[in-house]
Amino acid sequence: MYDRFNRKIEYVRISLTDRCNLRCRYCMPEEGVPKLAHDDILRFDEIVRVVRQLARLGVRKVRLTGGEPLIRRDITKLVASIRAVSGIESVAVTTNGVLLQELAEGLVQAGLSACNISLDTLRPETFASITRRDAFSRVAAGIEALEAAGLRDIKFNCVPIKGVNEEELPALVAKLVKDRPYKFRFIELMPIGCACEAGFAGVPMADVALQLMRAFGALTPAPAPKGVHGPARYYRMAGFCGEVGFIDAMEHKFCAACNRVRLTAEGFLKLCLNASTGLDLRTLLRGGITDENLALALRSAIYKKPEEHFFEEAGHYAKRDSRAMYQVGG
Ligand code: SAM
Ligand code: SF4
């Protein structure tokens, strides 16, 4: 379906939980994280029901995120159920990779189409300092397990942070995508969640690009993959099998081409990453709404998707959402 700005909405990002087995400094505080009660989180049958109606409206792609989506028990069954929904062409997951070692094979067998792994560093000490957990070796083993399971659509997401991982960015790219056909994406640190409290400052994407050019030579724009509309701009480098991408939500607004909506773990349909407008689906689902009326409610909410986000405008704080990344899923 199209929204009132004529954008075709084809993609839903579903947060399965607000909990996580890491505590990345820019995302979550170490303690005092308010947790949703078990009953407040959408059950898998409720999620699949929403996906079925969204698919009727034209959604083709689903991404499962969180918090950490892989800590939700039986996630492989959810992947299989969503894959079986008529019209859904792709089910992807965004994970910190800690549990991939155990789950990769089952996820791929269940029909997982793609996996994004968030990885800011290859140094175990830096990993422990960013995530407050000593889990680097598990993530490394998880990446191997995912490759062994045969998944080919793998992307790495890295948030460059001044004075933390900025020195090792070219090394990270070389290690992960020089000899492998995956995508390595840099994501600009956003002023959301704990980024400011952590005292972290992002590295401008232009500086990251410059570092890569110094290390590896020219960055050549890669043709956009067919049928994929996303906020990343991809580049190739001589001698590399994989590609490098940049996502800078602040400098390069992607809003005019935005094709996505989000579903939070407690069942709120969020129409924009950084706006609070949306629809409380959990109340509708648990209040006995019919499928027809659910589709109508979704259609009418999506039609009103905001025109753009307001990260950079101080005067627009009132329109902002107070939810952090781990509550929305990025
Ligand atoms: N736990 C999973 C993971 O880490 O991949 C999925 C959820 S996490 C919230 C999704 C993405 O949001 C991660 O790649 C993480 O680096 C990113 N993220 C969290 N807080 C951020 C911030 N303040 N600025 C930019 N990216 C952020
Ligand atoms: Fe957890 Fe992902 Fe947030 Fe890190 S970025 S604390 S892994 S939800």
Ligand nearest the Cα atom of residue 194: 1
**Taking 70 as the threshold, does the pLDDT of residue 188 lie above it?**
yes
Whether 1 maps to a domain, the answer reads no
Over residues 72-99, the mean pLDDT reads 98
Ligand 1 center to 119 CA (angstroms): 10
Over residues 103-120, the mean pLDDT reads 98
Domain interval for residue 240:
11-328
Model confidence at 309, pLDDT cuts 50, 70, 90, reads low
Ligand 1 center to 7 CA (angstroms): 25
Exposure string for 225-234, b = 16+ CB within 10 A, e = fewer: eeeeebbbbb
**81 vs 61: CA distance, rounded Å:** 14
Kindly report the protein residue whose alpha carbon is nearest to atom 5 of ligand 1: 95
- pLDDT on residue 319: 47
> What are the residues facing 61 on neighbouring strands?
11, 90
Ligand 1 site, residue 17, Cβ cutoff 6 A: no
Structure-model confidence comparison of residues 131 and 321, the more confident one: 131
- pLDDT on residue 314: 45
Kindly report the protein residue whose alpha carbon is nearest to atom 1 of ligand 1: 68
| End-to-end Cα separation, the chain, in angstroms | 23
Ligand 1 site, residue 274, Cβ cutoff 6 A: no
Ligand 1 center to 89 CA (angstroms): 24
Over residues 197-209, the mean pLDDT reads 90
Ligand 1 site, residue 160, Cβ cutoff 6 A: no
Over residues 113-132, the mean pLDDT reads 98
Please state, rounded to an integer, the average pLDDT across all residues of the chain: 91
**Taking 50 as the threshold, does the pLDDT of residue 221 lie above it?**
yes
Strands 114-118 vs 154-158: parallel, antiparallel or unpaired: parallel
Q: Poorest-confidence range of 37-51, 201-215, 295-309?
A: 295-309
Whether 5 maps to a domain, the answer reads no
Whether 122 maps to a domain, the answer reads yes
Q: Poorest-confidence range of 89-93, 234-238, 317-321?
A: 317-321
Whether 255 maps to a domain, the answer reads yes
Whether 4 maps to a domain, the answer reads no
Q: CATH number of the domain that 255 lies in?
A: 3.20.20.70
Kindly report the protein residue whose alpha carbon is nearest to atom 13 of ligand 1: 118
How many domains are there within the chain?
1
Whether 2 maps to a domain, the answer reads no
- pLDDT on residue 330: 64
Whether 45 maps to a domain, the answer reads yes
Q: Model-level pTM?
A: 0.93
> Helices marked H in 29-149 — which ranges?
44-56, 75-83, 100-109, 124-131, 136-148
Q: With beta carbons less than 8 A apart as the criterion, state whether 131 and 152 touch.
A: no
Over residues 67-93, the mean pLDDT reads 98
Whether 296 maps to a domain, the answer reads yes
- pLDDT on residue 318: 39
Exposure string for 32-57, b = 16+ CB within 10 A, e = fewer: eeeeeeeeebbebebbebbbbbbbbb
> What are the residues facing 237 on neighbouring strands?
none
Over residues 229-239, the mean pLDDT reads 89
Token duo for residue 301: 């909410």
**Diameter over CA atoms, the chain:** 59
